[in-house]
Structure 1
Amino acid sequence: MMQFKDDIRIRQRRKQKNVHWSRFWFIAAGIGIILSALTICYFYVSLTPMRRDESRLQRFVKAKTDIATVQQISVDHRQKTTYAITGTTASGKQKVAIVRGKSNQVKTYDRRNGLSDKQLRQLILTTYKPKKIYSANISEYKQALVWEVSYKGQNNTLNYVTLDFKTGSPYRVIKGL
């Protein structure tokens, strides 16, 4: 009789040591889903002001200029916030609208008067020999329309160059950040 009780105790101890791996993986997956949802919510909420500004700018530019279709909006925070809105008119002409901050003033420029994207890329590649071009956006610098270009230099440093919109001549060059 005593032997039978000891066998039961040994079996009970072994059962207690079993780990339910399915329960562990279920809890880990639940935590992963919750963290993913929180991350998505964080980015959605943090990008709301940007989406609101883009929507406001599209409505504003369509109302104040002859741009019918907005293709790209870029922002520059140099001294004051400047938005460059690239779009197409109803007749198919490409235009650039410049809006400073939240002002009600807009300046429009004919996109064909400046360097094309292909010409700008070729100019950057031949003149500055970058390893990688990060961005090339239209902006305004000292009341002139310019290209703001950031790129990775040969020595793996971040570089910025501000080029004239029409000719591509440099206004300022910042190397080695």
Structure 2
Amino acid sequence: MMQFKDDIRIRHRPKQTHVHWARFWFIIAGVGILLGALVLGYFYVSLSPMRNDEVRLQRFVKKETNIATVQQISVDHRQKTTYAITGTTVSGQQKVAIVNSKMNQVKTYNRDNGLTDKQLRQLILTNYKPKKIYSANISEYKQTLVWEVSYKGQNNTLNYVTLDFKTGKSYRVINGL
């Protein structure tokens, strides 16, 4: 009889732990979703001051000028912060409004008096031969409306050029940053 009990003990294996891969992947996916939500929440909160400024700028420009629809807002931090707002009036005329950082002064200009986007692009391609144009924004420089253009030069350096809004005449050029 003893032999029989010994055989049972020999054949009896301890219970193996089984890894549930579905549970493992579910936990990994949950952690990924949680991290993604935290990152998106961080960006939402960190960009809220910029969104608030844009809303305030749009309200101010619509109240102080005849611009009815805002299409683009750009900011310039050269010596003092100024905003350039491009938009259209109710009659469809293109306008540019330059607003100071305190939002208590605004100057408006007719967008049609300046170079078109196509003319500006052609001027930059012809005169500066960039590998890539990064940005072209309207701004104010020494009480004059200008284009602020940043581009990658042939030697792969960052370059800036300030051009007259109407004529495209160069006011300043910064090469090789």
Instruction: Classify the TM-score, shorter chain.
Output: over 0.9
Residue 2 of structure 1 aligns to a residue whose secondary structure is helix
Q: Identity across aligned pairs (percent)?
A: 77
Compute the displacement of 1:101 (Å): 0.3
2:113 maps to: 113
Q: Are the structure 2 counterparts of residues 2 and 139 from structure 1 closer, same or farther at C-alpha, using a change threshold of 3 Å?
A: same
2:132 maps to: 132
2:58 maps to: 58
Q: Which structure 1 segments of 5+ residues have no match? A: none
Report the TM-score, using the length of structure 2 for normalisation. 0.94
CA distance in 2, matches of 1:160, 1:7: 82
**Equivalent runs, 1:21-100 vs 2, <5 Å:** 21-100=21-100
The count of residues paired between Structure 1 and Structure 2 equals 173
1:173 maps to: 173
Compute the displacement of 1:20 (Å): 1.9
Compute the displacement of 1:103 (Å): 3.0
1:7 maps to: 11
Report the TM-score, using the length of structure 1 for normalisation. 0.94
CA distance in 2, matches of 1:134, 1:2: 82
Q: Which structure 2 segments of 5+ residues have no match? A: none
Q: Deviations over 1:6-59 (max 9, x none)?
A: 33234x2xx22x322212111110110011001100110111011101100111
Q: Are the structure 2 counterparts of residues 7 and 162 from structure 1 closer, same or farther at C-alpha, using a change threshold of 3 Å?
A: farther
Does 2:163 align with 1:163? Answer: yes
**Which is higher, the Rg of structure 1 or of structure 2?**
2
Compute the displacement of 1:3 (Å): 3.0
Runs of 4+ aligned structure 1 residues displaced above 4 Å come to: none
CA distance in 2, matches of 1:28, 1:89: 53
